[in-house]
Chains A and B, each alone.
Chain A
Amino acid sequence: MTEVELTVNGRVVRETVEPRLLLTDFLRHRLGLTGTHVGCEHGVCGACTVLLDGVSVRGCCLLAIQADGSRVETVESLAESGPLTELQESFRRHHALQCGFCTPGILMAATDLLSRGRPTRAEIADMLSGHLCRCTGYTPIVDAIEACVDRDGSA
């Protein structure tokens, strides 16, 4: 068992973890941040995507112990307790979610993608190829993200 200290959604967290504890289980069950979802635990479905030091990564492919000293942001950090972000509102307007299980992972990856510039529709679809959604047929999701590009480059 090892002590780790990391920042999660802006708050410093200190916990004792076994090396094998997955970051997803740490976030969900140790910290109660259940917005990050688990769909496969082998890195394919993308539901577990979070930001690690500002960059989108698969939570199920990371050990909690590896995040020691890092900054983790989950879907709960997007709007905190305030109004929905522009990206989240766009999802709502475009009906880009149905069951909502894949949504947090996609929101985090899209947040990362939009922060890097102005992706084309093809680049958005390519980013989305790393995420499984079985409800929407993807087009509304691409529309929702694309609608957030025609601003000044920030999301």
Chain B
Amino acid sequence: MKPAPFGYVRAGSLDEALAALAEGGEDAKPIAGGQSLVPALNLRLVRPTLLVDLNHAGLDGIAANGTLTVGATTRQAALVGDERVHPLVREALPFVGHFVTRNRGTVGGSIAHADGAAELPLCLVALGGKVVVDGPSGRRVIAADEFFITHFTTALGAGELVVETVWPLAATGESSAFEELALRAGDFAQSMVAVVLRRDADGKVVDASVAVGAVSDHPIRLREVETLLVGTSGAEAAADAGSLAATLVDPPGSIHASARYSRALTGALTTRAIERAA
């Protein structure tokens, strides 16, 4: 399977990239890691007229100052083993593709691609992170839970690029857990759940984040489950939280799993994640 023809420009800076995208119009596409885009090109599912290569535009790098700022073209592998990265993300990373694809796939690319079954968008939503975007109308910051709209669709406007993602650092009194079930290691999830709990000195949950992915068209926070957990120890409410979670998602069936299963699985993973976020 070979791609249809396209033009190519290698951007040496963010400004060059934005200019090339503006000039290329709506059929120009940025390419970062290419682990999703090039297969789509090979399958001729997408046919851009111009590819704008971001890999040399200076958009990589990780900086920590109160939050963790991750440049868009930072490789997923760069997060592995970096102690500054939030434990939730470090737990999710082994599920992101495979060793070799993480070497090339980027954090920003995963965020911009917005596959509803991708782990990094889910973690960003669960942690309440932010996406920094730049484009024809300048730079803006978008909260994660406003960035992902539906399958492969984000709040990015025409000619805009993800420049950075901003991630909270681990906080005291906070614990987290990530659960996923895929048919095989590295496959797209059948369901996945990210839980972050903040507890007071008595061990009671004061703040909860419960987010699910793969069973919806974009990662969603289950606010009612979060409310249920507040004031409990977490584990004591885990079973109820899971049952509630199962009713809050409406997954389609697929050739692999029925909707009924995907709902029940989400509930089970929610319970497990809450139990483990001890």
Residues in chain A within 8 A of chain B (CB atoms):
2, 18-20, 22, 25, 41-43, 46, 49, 52, 55-58, 60-63, 65-66, 68, 109, 112-113, 126-127, 129-130
In the complex, what distance in Å separates the CA atom of A35 from the CA atom of B175? 47
Contact A127 B98 (CB under 8 A): yes
Q: A61-B35, A61-B104, A129-B98 are in contact. Are A66 and B42 (CB under 8 A)?
A: no
Contact A127 B99 (CB under 8 A): yes
Nearest CB of A to B100, in Å:
5
In the complex, which residues of chain B have a beta carbon less than 8 angstroms from the beta carbon of A41?
1, 39, 42
Interface flag for B256 (CB, 8 Å): no
Contact A63 B101 (CB under 8 A): no
In the complex, which residues of chain A have a beta carbon less than 8 angstroms from the beta carbon of B55?
66
- Contacts A20-B41, A61-B104 known; 16 new A-B pairs at CB < 8 A: A20-B2, A22-B2, A41-B42, A42-B42, A57-B100, A58-B35, A60-B38, A61-B39, A62-B38, A66-B31, A66-B55, A112-B100, A127-B98, A127-B100, A129-B186, A130-B98
**Of the 9-residue stretches B3-11, B14-22, B203-211, which lies at the interface with chain A?**
B3-11
Contact B38 A126 (CB under 8 A): no
Which residue in chain B gives the minimum CB-CB distance to A61? B38
In the complex, what distance in Å separates the CA atom of A113 from the CA atom of B103? 11
Contact B103 A55 (CB under 8 A): yes
Q: A20-B3, A42-B43, A130-B186 are in contact. Are A57 and B97 (CB under 8 A)?
A: no
Contact B42 A63 (CB under 8 A): no
In the complex, which residues of chain B have a beta carbon less than 8 angstroms from the beta carbon of A109?
99-100
Residue of A49, A52, A61, A68 most packed against chain B (CB within 10 A): A61
Residue of B6, B7, B42, B100 most packed against chain A (CB within 10 A): B100
Contact A63 B38 (CB under 8 A): yes
Contact B100 A19 (CB under 8 A): no
Write 23 A-B pairs (CB below 8 A) sorted by A numbering.
Answer: A18-B5, A19-B6, A19-B8, A20-B4, A22-B3, A22-B38, A41-B1, A42-B39, A43-B39, A56-B99, A58-B100, A58-B104, A61-B34, A61-B101, A63-B8, A66-B34, A66-B53, A112-B103, A126-B94, A126-B99, A127-B98, A129-B184, A130-B100
Interface flag for B51 (CB, 8 Å): yes
In the complex, what distance in Å separates the CA atom of A102 from the CA atom of B186? 18
Q: A126-B94, A129-B184, A130-B186 are in contact. Are A113 and B99 (CB under 8 A)?
A: yes
In the complex, what distance in Å separates the CA atom of A14 from the CA atom of B3? 23
In the complex, what distance in Å separates the CA atom of A25 from the CA atom of B42? 12
In the complex, which residues of chain B have a beta carbon less than 8 angstroms from the beta carbon of A65?
8, 10
Interface flag for B158 (CB, 8 Å): no
Residue of B6, B10, B103 most packed against chain A (CB within 10 A): B103
Interface flag for B185 (CB, 8 Å): yes
In the complex, what distance in Å separates the CA atom of A53 from the CA atom of B100? 13
Residue of B41, B53, B98 most packed against chain A (CB within 10 A): B98
In the complex, which residues of chain A have a beta carbon less than 8 angstroms from the beta carbon of B38?
22, 43, 60-63
In the complex, which residues of chain A have a beta carbon less than 8 angstroms from the beta carbon of B8?
2, 19, 63, 65
In the complex, which residues of chain A have a beta carbon less than 8 angstroms from the beta carbon of B53?
66
In the complex, what distance in Å separates the CA atom of A52 from the CA atom of B103? 10
